[in-house]
Amino acid sequence: MKHTQSSSAPKRARTSKDCSAGHDCTDDNCSCCGDGPVQLDDQVLSQSAAVLVSMALEEIENTGDRAVVIKLFETAIEKYGDDKSMEHAWALLRFGEYAEYMEYAEKAVLLAKELNTVSDLERAQCELLESRAQVLSFCLEQSNWRDPAADDSDNDDVDEDV
């Protein structure tokens, strides 16, 4: 299923600072550069936590603008607050997977374990969430998990004696 850009797409807010065409810097917090701070407009900020998570997932699929995705996830997590739900746990896990923050995945597992999972579906979701967190943990331990071609080890998977 392909997502389309919604009319409430997150927008970057620029400051009134002089951002001339020749402006070039490496400051991560520069409001003139594309990687500058992200501010979500009021229409986006008024959305529920679940909608913000959906917007983050849609943004990953559409543009992959990392700063916007992280801001959407952060805002959603803030909105969930102390809510103890499987929805909140999944949001934490997805944020942890995207941003490679194991702490969020661990929080997701703890939250899922705190829930009184009564139905088979809830128990299955909890187990799936725990499994995905374990996979994330394993991946983060690998220095080259995002780019296997960058592996500089002397051990090759190919048997050269064949």
How would you class 108 by CB atoms within 10 Å of its CB: exposed for 0-12, middle for 13-18, buried for 19 or more? buried
Task: Give the residue among 75, 114, 109, 69 at the shortest CA–CA distance from 89.
Answer: 109
Residue 107 has a pLDDT of 93
What average pLDDT does the segment 74-99 reach? 93
Residue 50 has a pLDDT of 96
Place of tokens 């990953």: 60
Q: Is the entire prediction scored with pTM above 0.75?
A: no
pLDDT by residue (tens digit) across 23-39?
Answer: 455 555 555 554 457 88
Spatial CB neighbours of 35, under 8 Å, sequence gap ≥ 6: 28, 67
Whether the per-residue pLDDT at 14 is higher than 80: the answer is no
Residue 36: CB atoms within 10 Å: 20
Residue 119 has a pLDDT of 85
Residue 71 has a pLDDT of 93
Predicted confidence band at 63 (pLDDT cuts at 50, 70, 90)? confident
What average pLDDT does the segment 82-99 reach? 93
* Residue 61 and residue 43 in contact, taking contact as beta carbons nearer than 8 Å: no
Whether the per-residue pLDDT at 11 is higher than 50: the answer is no
Q: Which long-range contacts does 27-36 make (Cβ < 8 Å, 24+ apart)?
A: 35/67, 36/12
- Whole-angstrom distance, CA of residue 40 vs CA of residue 131: 33
